[in-house]
Amino acid sequence: MNGNIPLQDIRSLNEEQLSEWVVALNEKKFRVKQIFEHLWKHNTASFDEMNNLPLSLRDALKKDFSFHKLSIIDKQTSKDGSLKYAFQLSDNQIIETVLIPSNRRSTVCVSSQVGCGLACQFCATAHLGYKRNLQAYEMFEQIFIANEESKLLFGYPITNIVWMGMGEPLLNYEHVVACIHYVSSPKGLGMSKSRITLSTSGITEGIRRLADDDIKIHLALSLHSAHNEQRSTLMPINKTKPLSEVANALMYYHQKTKLRISIEYLLLESVNDSLEHARMLARFCKQFPVKINLIEYNTHPYSNFKPSNTKQTIAFMDYLKSKNLIVTLRQSKGKDIAAACGQLANQTGMDSK
Ligand code: SF4
């Protein structure tokens, strides 16, 4: 603390800024790598723990910086083994993160914003509104803690990271990309980018930027309707980013990365689950290589939608398969603790996509 103003979290410096700070102290360059590894490999919680640094350097760090750590304020376990964590941030805001085990896999679903301003009709996060973007270190810590929990509870580390929690990650581009760097760098967690998926509502500039910046992660589009006008009703972002523009951006992403795009489609009873909707979806998906994830809708108090019934779901899926599309039906995990897709709304046991 400097008077009443909290010191800057050291993790808000990028590697270049950290290097400049170290060099300005006339310290050796290799100290940068040591500090970097403390921050992004070990998630070190205090400067005192950096015991391979000289005391003078630790004191200088303490004078200029601090750590704004996340604290777990609630943890709920679903009957299916998924866990939902509520984290309190240094400004008392609350976010949620989900850890999902399945068949030797362990997936962490990361939040990128506090709340979300995009007002998708089916999403519980939308009712919170947008509060702020998360810092790279606030997303990194969600992943780091989930990784430690996975090792402890399941006996193996996380295998996959999905940016599908609260918020639109491409509206927090710099911090999300910085976090991906820390997670994938050999000096950080060293995870392969092929294990990372970012889900977007269709932020076209962000999709193109990810392609141009050669980030090479998997991209998922939260589509939910291939009918442009209907999609604008379900997801207001579609009014400014219509499906034709989203498709062009996805084509660009595929051309640059050669990666298949995932299409996420919630099945909502009598809304988007007719065979005509399946036909529109198939047409949309013929524009670039995709795999389609049909998602069972989870009810929550913030919307009146209902999940499609089994007969309709099978008919919808069969139609897509008859068009030679790759389709899987995802039954969301963590329904009983409001951790499933679209249910994250800071309703913890204490009451905090
Ligand atoms: S679905 Fe995603 S983009 Fe839409 S309101 Fe929810 S968190 Fe935001």
Domain boundaries, the chain: 8-66, 71-337
Q: Is the model's pLDDT at 129 over the cut of 90?
A: yes
What distances in angstroms separate CA 284 from CA 89, 96, 197, 261, 275, one per listed residue? 40, 32, 21, 12, 14
CB 351 within 8 A of CB 74: no
Judge whether 53 and 34 are in contact, CB under 8 Å: yes
- What integer pLDDT is reported at residue 119 of this predicted model? 95
CATH number of 71-337: 3.20.20.70
8-66 and 71-337 in the same fold:
no
The answer to whether 345 touches 302, Cβ cutoff 8 Å, is: yes
Assigned token pair, 144: 């780091």
pLDDT at res. 5:
74
Q: pTM of the prediction?
A: 0.94
What average pLDDT does this structure show over 259-264?
97
123 lines ligand 1 (CB under 6 A): yes
For every residue of 295-344, which 3-state class applies, written as one string? EECCCCCCCCCCECCHHHHHHHHHHHHHCCCEEEEECCCCHHHCCCCCCC
Nearest CA to ligand 1 atom 3: 168
- Ligand 1 atom closest to the CA of 116, numbered from 1: 8
pLDDT of residue 331: 77
Residues forming a β-bridge with 65? 8
- Active-site residue, 285 included: no
Binning pLDDT at 50, 70 and 90, where does residue 333 land? confident
Query: Any idea what DSSP says for residue 79?
Result: T
- In the predicted model, is pLDDT for residue 351 greater than 50? no
Neighbours of 243 (CB within 10 A): 20
Q: Identify which has the larger pLDDT, 287 or 303.
A: 287
**Nearest atom of ligand 1 to the alpha carbon of 126:** 5
Nearest in space to 84 (alpha carbons), one of 95, 101, 96, 66: 96
- Distance from residue 49's CA to the centre of ligand 1 (Å): 38
Question: Whose C-alpha lies nearest to ligand 1, atom 7?
Answer: 167
Query: Are the C-beta atoms of 300 and 343 separated by less than 8 Å?
Result: yes
| Closest atom of ligand 1 to CA, residue 123 | 6
Q: Which residue has the higher pLDDT, 246 or 347?
A: 246
Q: Which of 27, 49, 96, 123 is labelled catalytic?
A: 96
Look at the block and give the residue holding tokens 């008077």: 3
CATH architecture for segment(s) 8-66: Orthogonal Bundle (1.10)
Render pLDDT for 167-202 as a digit per residue (tens, 0 to 9).
Answer: 999 999 999 999 999 999 999 999 999 999 999 999
Q: Is 49 a catalytic residue?
A: no
Question: Which entry of 109, 179, 285, 341 is annotated as an active-site residue?
Answer: 341
Question: For ligand 1, is residue 300 a contact (CB within 6 Å)?
Answer: no
